[in-house]
């Protein structure tokens, strides 16, 4: 019985994590506040991590300034010239789903930032999550959470990255 109560508390804990631990980082779609189409603080996508490295190295890897590429007003960084070229050939193959926002938050109709070390590749697509708890909750039902997030993501009004305060190219 105690184990069941512990499992039942997980969704509540997620809400606490999303709203208390990072105030203002999770926003409901129903508020209809436009969000940047890509989660790119200062115009840098994936917090500077190489999107291709998740696929080629199997781990999050910070990119380098010397291997940068601007795609759709967002700068992406890569660990090598080879990864940069792979990205240029097919950016959509390597970009994270939901504009680089948290996959679990999107599955529950919220927007949240990501931790580049909380990731998974499912059916050839990169999914990122906010933290340890959101990653594990998302992992409990990946296909169901992906289906929910796929329905929720189009509901968010988007604004161009260049319209975001503090954006500099």
Nearest to 159, CA basis, from 30, 49, 46, 73: 73
Angle between helices 142-152 and 132-140 (to 10 degrees): 100
Cα–Cα distance for residue pair 137/144, rounded to 1 Å: 11
Q: What is the average pLDDT across 50-76?
A: 97
pTM for the model stands at 0.80
Query: Residues 40, 41, 47, CA angle at the centre, nearest 5°?
Result: 70
User: What torsion, rounded to 10 degrees, do the Cα atoms 5, 8, 13, 19 define?
Assistant: -140
Structure-token pair, residue 36: 């940047």
Cα–Cα distance for residue pair 46/116, rounded to 1 Å: 7
- With cut-offs at 50, 70 and 90, classify the pLDDT of residue 161: low
Q: What is the average pLDDT across 103-124?
A: 97
What percentage of residues in the chain have a pLDDT greater than 70?
76
Tell me: pLDDT of 20 over 50. Answer: no
Reported as a single tens digit per residue, the pLDDT across 123-151 is 999 999 999 999 999 999 999 999 999 99
Instruction: Mention every residue, 6+ apart, whose C-beta is less than 8 A from residue 51.
Output: 45, 76, 78, 87, 94, 95, 96, 126
Tell me: pLDDT of 18 over 90. Answer: no
């Amino acid at each position: 019985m105690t184990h069941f109560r512990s499992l039942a508390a997980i969704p509540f804990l997620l809400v606490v994590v999303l709203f208390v631990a990072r105030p203002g980082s999770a926003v409901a779609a129903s508020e209809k506040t436009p969000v940047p189409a890509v989660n790119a603080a200062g115009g840098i996508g994936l917090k500077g991590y190489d999107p291709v490295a998740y696929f080629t190295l199997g781990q999050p890897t910070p990119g380098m300034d010397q291997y940068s590429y601007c795609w759709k007003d967002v700068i992406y960084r890569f660990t090598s010239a080879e990864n940069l070229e792979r990205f240029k050939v097919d950016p959509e193959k390597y970009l994270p789903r939901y504009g680089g926002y948290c996959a679990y938050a999107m599955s529950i109709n919220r927007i949240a930032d990501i931790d580049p070390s909380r990731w998974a590749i499912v059916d050839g697509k990169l999914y990122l999550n906010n933290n340890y708890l959101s990653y594990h909750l998302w992992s409990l039902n990946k296909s169901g959470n992906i289906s929910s997030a796929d329905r929720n993501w189009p509901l968010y009004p988007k604004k161009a990255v260049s319209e975001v305060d503090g954006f500099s190219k």
